[in-house]
Structure 1
Amino acid sequence: MDKVVATAAEAVAGIRDGASVASGGFGICGIPAVLIDAVVEAGVERLEIYSNNCGTDGVGLGKLLDRGRIRRIVASYVGENKEFARQYLGGELEVELTPQGTLAERLRAAGVGIPAFYTRTGTGTAVASGGLPWRYASDGRVAVASPPKPAAEFGGVPFVLERALPADFALVRAWKGDRHGNLVFRKAARNFNPVCAMAGRISVAEVEHLVEPGELDPDAVHLPGIYVDRVLPLTPAQVADKGIERLTTRPRRGAGRGA
């Protein structure tokens, strides 16, 4: 039952070229930064990534993107990464844009054994009818477009069928965790991390504060250890190393008046 591993390299062992990887976080909040760095160091290529976004330039998943290690990504929001746009429009990267709630549910469905589900989100749009550009050719033509999705009506209301999104591996970050893999997430970091962990065939969690089994209040556990295979305790320096996507400040009170 003790799922703790000693190193980040051990935590990501087994991720091979061409693997699918679900990665938690929103922007760069709650991202498994240490595990992503270990994947970078492992040198694996042609990855298929499932994540809300792809980090920012040179941060988080952006490190894999900068090195050309990502072949395809299923994501919801990609507007903070210029290299992402360059690779996508240049035909180097295949992108399946998915509505944010649909993406979360596709990951959750994979974790609970639901192969597909119907949703109203995307009905009447190219999400349902197909034709969204997944990959461009080098000359700007659409090389691969999204296919139409099955549709049905329930009570006279149209719905579109979305498939679950199981991943070979999942990488997540938790605020607290015990040796059995029970996890607690902190505030906004409880975003895509739980559903990503649920979707992974092998799920790996980097944990800011490791506690012993029994120390976590069962009612406070956000994700039970049944979904987690490996736990990597972080050092204090790794815990403190958190980026800010957009730093916004205001002048100090009294600034400019001799204060």
Structure 2
Amino acid sequence: MSHDFDIIIVGGGAVGAALACALKNSKLKIAVIEAVSPKADIQPSYDDRGLSISLSSKNILDNLGLWQNISPHSNPIKHIHVSDQHHFGFVRMDAESMNVSALGYIVLARELGKAFMQTIEAAENISFFCPASVTAVEISALSASVTVNIDGVDKIISSKLLVAADGAESRTRDMLGIKASVEDYQQVAIVSNVLPQRPHLNTAYERFTETGPLALLPHSQQRCVLVFTVAANEAEKYLQMDEQGFLDVLLERFGR
């Protein structure tokens, strides 16, 4: 039985794009279907959020030939400081004592996306359908058939293997009737960029608070990526605060 592709990957975010990049030098014919252009301002996968890349993930990206393009836009985590609000004691870790160059790296999602897209667009064995959406999926014992809508026109493509990498709320998974176990923690993580008065010295801070963990992660130009966990029913209150009001709450939670 003939197929248009060996593998169809639905979703061009970090997971789907990384898989496609890993297969770029294979003999397999790959299709990647992504709904939102990587260059769009509202691209949910590749916005200005700071991502924490572990050392093992960095090594994977390096082996894929991607890290050389990501590295100039990354900031190393040399030290980690973990504490618990209203409690004594803390934990410190540093790269030198563990004989590694860094414990991890902070990279903007947008820069990660650029590296993925450059590799995908240059690969001869990868076809990138974007912007495009999947409207139907059929699975048989020998193949997967996917209906793709491109500029209002439906096109059917087939493959030996279908990979659903279109996010936690995957429409592909729903179309296939695959159930997912979901547990709501009633928490929301607010992610933003802040500029401390003092140099961050490549130190990542994690502080456990009554509403959830709070993290300050070192990024370029002495900025820090803030991950601020709050109760879901209070999230909108924090999002509507002015800058000074939000910083006052942050200082109270993190401690001066």
Give the structure with higher Rg (CA).
2
When the two structures are superposed, what TM-score results if normalisation uses the length of structure 2?
A: 0.24
When the two structures are superposed, what TM-score results if normalisation uses the length of structure 1?
A: 0.24
